[in-house]
Amino acid sequence: MADTVEMYEQTGPERLSVFRSTIDGVTVVTVTGEIDHHTSGVLRDALAPADPAPGARTVADLGGVPFMDSSGINVLIAGHQAHQPTGWLRLAGVRGPVLRTLEIVGLTPLIPCYPSVGDALADD
């Protein structure tokens, strides 16, 4: 059950919607739409840890993302780095074409991917 829920921002006519919620102390960022150079700034802001204290934990639910270009890859890397050294960023629900892109660029060993948000939250 979510502790808090908020709409973070929407870019353009339904191009990218990002919602942040907190579930048991973990930030869950739910993304819907295409991630490209026009929309990646919204995702970058949403993935920044809400609490600057060490140990921030975030799950990015990318189940609603059909396309991601290199801008999105860069945002995910920056998000991963922002959670280091004691926190983590995990991805959930990554769809085929986006998952394939993450695999090709070698990001999946760095940022773990899970089938669902529940699976990402349960892995401790």
Q: What is the pLDDT of residues 68-104, one digit of tens each?
A: 999 999 999 999 999 999 999 999 999 999 999 999 9
Q: Which stretches within 1-124 are classed as H helix?
A: 40-47, 70-82, 96-104, 117-122
Enumerate residues 6+ apart whose C-beta is below 8 A from 105. 73
pLDDT band for 1, please (50, 70, 90 cuts): very low
Q: Where are the domains of the chain?
A: 4-122
Fold of 4-122: Transcription Regulator spoIIAA (3.30.750)
Report the pLDDT averaged over residues 101-119. Answer: 97
Distances (CA, A) of 118 to 14, 26, 92, 97: 26, 11, 9, 22
